[in-house]
Amino acid sequence: DGVTEVLAHHSESLRDKFVEVPCSEDYDSHRRFEGCTPRKCGRGVTDAVITRDEAERIRRIAERGLSLGGSDGGASILDLHSGALSLGKHFVNLYRYFGDKIQDVFTEEDFALYRDVRQRIQQRIAQAFGISSASMYLTKPTFFSRINNTEAKTTHDEYWHPHVDKVTYGSFDYTSLLYLSDYTEDFGGGRFVFMDAGSNKTVEPRAGRVSFFTSGSENLHRVEKVHWGTRYAITISFTCNPDHGIGDPVLM
């Protein structure tokens, strides 16, 4: 794996850390949106946008939703926007599958907190990259993940492969992760790894920590396999293309 440098230790509380990296050419093959499409690329970590208490409340939303399903393998997904929920080896639409019972699982306050947290992360990313928050749109997939050390049963469970978000999803311009559990306390393994030529830069998850980065090949990354415990996070992704924008989830 080459040399590993820890960008953010789980034991430290970082106000703001930002590392600029040269942009890849990935954005050139997509329509450019002035004032939003990355001209400055990089990666940032902050523990000062979301509190640990808020992260715990958000994790409880994920736990309640995922308790309705869960993958047979080690990685389960809950997408409040589309309703996608891992169930066995497949996905179901949470809203269609459970109907009115959803009102017993989530509250309006849950969705209000989710929206508020998403907006703060969006503003932080805009500030770091010198763009207007209003020119960014939430895009899909934006989802909760719960990862444990159960053996993979389908390709959906194989979360550890190196990938580039812009290549994988197309619409992504900025990616963020909000961690909802603590490395070494709640789980082992599961660190986030930026794979640079000749060295790796790792982010150790910590509840309330936001890691964000431009989505092109300049930020090739992977997640280490989780060896024990349970790792919760939410991936929140943004696009500059309004055609690929999605709305915040609403409680039916």
Catalytic residue, chosen from 43, 146, 209, 231, is 231
* Closest among 46, 191, 9, 35 to 121, alpha carbons compared: 46
* Closest among 201, 209, 200, 202 to 233, alpha carbons compared: 209
Give one DSSP letter per residue of 17-30, joined into a string. Answer: EEEEE---SGGGGS
* Closest among 127, 118, 143, 168 to 234, alpha carbons compared: 143
Say how far apart CA 68 and CA 72 lie, in whole Å: 13
Annotation marks residue 231 as catalytic? yes
Q: Find the distance separating the first CA and the last CA of the chain, reported in whole Å.
A: 47
Both tokens of 33, joined, read: 């949106």
DSSP helix/strand/coil, 101: helix
Catalytic residues: 231
